[in-house]
Chains A and B, each alone.
Chain A
Amino acid sequence: MTQAAMERRQVLTFLGALAAAGFVVPRVALANWDKTAFDAKTMDDALKAFGAGAPADSGDVQIIASDIAENGAVVPVQAVSKLPKTERIAILVEKNPNMLAAAFDIGPDTIPEVTARIKMGQTSNVMVLVKADGKFYATAKEIKVTLGGCGG
């Protein structure tokens, strides 16, 4: 057996063990999807899963979003980091059942500004968490979710 084949076999065994342990293994292996972080039900747990502990408030982290969302199903959010060596940007919604909405790995050529659209079950603080040069920074903003339409 070649070295490469052996390594491959070890990987397969590892995936098999995960499957046996009850993990769902998708057809395409996911490089980064962090189940612990996405399953976190409290802000502390979510931050812990990131290894963030207590991130420092930073004016260099910005969250660009309207103060009010006409509908919680689609809330446009732009997350911006002005910090050098930004590696990761995450968007968290405090009052959602699962806090973490998205995490973006920022490559060296990528400008640390990402726009996404998130769901919000109710009015809540939305937090942008940034990992830059190994340290964590954050900022938060309240977005009001209004009841719209005729309610019928």
Chain B
Amino acid sequence: MDRVSVGIAAFLAVSAAVATAAYAQQKDAAQEGIEAYREALQDGNPAELFELSGEELWKTPAGPKKDSLEKCDLGLGPGVVKGAYAQLPRYFADTDRVQDLESRLLTCMETLQGKDPKPYVEASFTAPPKEEMIALAAYVSGQSKDDPITVKPKHPKEQAMYDLGKRMFYYQGGPYDFACATCHGQEGTRIRLQDLPYIPGQKGAAAGWGSWPAYRVSSGQMWSMQWRLNDCFRQQRFPEPVYTSDATIALSMYMAANASGETMKTPGIKR
């Protein structure tokens, strides 16, 4: 084993391709093992259980107006769920806002069912109001499975949101100087054994954006995109993002538009 060549290869971050013998084998074996593991998880995603309960929530009358969400307009017209998630976030004229799925669900819950969105915004992600949001997100996202991601900012507010999202992505702060870009701004890197999607690129953006909501085997929890972003900011050592705040929607717009043209694989299953 030529130590110098290993040092240089690692330095150039191309060790998988260049490094010889032991280290390369070691890396390959670990990565092959992880890939086999992920493959084995694909069959039988417990996210399906959340899709079931989300569908029931969608169809069951609730709230002061005793109405269901079946007439909710997710961007493709009232009541159209199929394919809607693959085209979010987008600008909605009735709210004059760019909205992601979860903020749009809140709008529908308020207008159709007469519910107050506040408890849904403020509840922790493991509390019942958020469980409803997450189940609904699982159901709606499942109705875009295998659809092409189609998010092309056209409306000025969509374009502005994309730019804000890009800027948010690179914004450093906190005691660790972290930005989203610290981990997701280079191609082909990983944290521990988890591959990091390169968000500025189409494939990487799709690997991130296109697989959430997802069931997380580590916690046995279903996570929506909003929860995913919330925990990114936690690990970034930032203060907490407000649920469905513009910073989270801007980042969603940045990811979704970068991923446009790739395929939705929702709901996903993750470590």
Residues on A facing B (Cβ under 8 Å):
65-71, 73-76, 115, 117, 144, 146-152
**B217-237 Cβ-contact flags toward A at 8 Å (1 or 0):** 111100000000000001100
Q: Contact at B37–A148, with CB atoms within 8 Å?
A: no
Q: Which of A117, A144, A148, A152 has a CB less than 8 Å from the CB of B33?
A: A144
Q: Contact at A148–B40, with CB atoms within 8 Å?
A: no
Contacts of A150 in B (CB 8 A): 191-192, 235
Whether B242 sits at the interface, judged by CB under 8 Å, is no
Q: Contact at B29–A73, with CB atoms within 8 Å?
A: no
Q: Contact at B33–A76, with CB atoms within 8 Å?
A: no
When C-beta atoms are compared, the residue in chain A nearest to B31 turns out to be A68
Q: Contact at A66–B191, with CB atoms within 8 Å?
A: no
Contacts of A67 in B (CB 8 A): 29, 32-33, 36
When C-beta atoms are compared, the residue in chain A nearest to B237 turns out to be A152
Q: Contact at B36–A66, with CB atoms within 8 Å?
A: yes
Q: Contact at B217–A73, with CB atoms within 8 Å?
A: yes
A sample of 7 more A-B contacts (CB under 8 A), given A73-B219, A148-B271, is A65-B40, A68-B34, A70-B37, A71-B218, A115-B44, A148-B218, A149-B194
When C-beta atoms are compared, the residue in chain A nearest to B219 turns out to be A73
Residues on B facing A (Cβ under 8 Å):
29-30, 32-34, 36-41, 43-44, 191-194, 217-220, 234-235, 271
Contacts of B218 in A (CB 8 A): 71, 73-74, 148-149
When C-beta atoms are compared, the residue in chain B nearest to A78 turns out to be B40
Q: Contact at A152–B235, with CB atoms within 8 Å?
A: yes
Contacts of A75 in B (CB 8 A): 37
Contacts of B44 in A (CB 8 A): 115, 117
Q: Which of B29, B36, B191, B217 has a CB less than 8 Å from the CB of A71?
A: B217
Contacts of B193 in A (CB 8 A): 68, 70, 146, 148
When C-beta atoms are compared, the residue in chain B nearest to A71 turns out to be B218
Q: Contact at B37–A76, with CB atoms within 8 Å?
A: yes
Q: Contact at A66–B37, with CB atoms within 8 Å?
A: yes
Q: Contact at A69–B192, with CB atoms within 8 Å?
A: no
Q: Contact at B37–A152, with CB atoms within 8 Å?
A: no
Q: Contact at B37–A69, with CB atoms within 8 Å?
A: yes
Q: In the complex the two chains form, what is the Cα distance from A66 to B194 in whole Å?
A: 16
Q: Contact at B271–A149, with CB atoms within 8 Å?
A: yes
Nearest CB of A to B44, in Å: 8
Residue in B32, B37, B193 whose Cβ sees the most chain A Cβ within 10 Å: B37
Nearest CB of A to B181, in Å: 16
Q: In the complex the two chains form, what is the Cα distance from A70 to B270 in whole Å?
A: 9
Q: In the complex the two chains form, what is the Cα distance from A151 to B193 in whole Å?
A: 12
- A-B contacts, 22 listed (Cβ < 8 Å): A66-B33, A66-B37, A66-B40, A67-B29, A67-B36, A68-B33, A68-B36, A70-B193, A70-B217, A71-B218, A76-B37, A115-B43, A144-B33, A146-B193, A147-B192, A148-B192, A148-B193, A148-B194, A149-B194, A150-B192, A150-B235, A152-B234
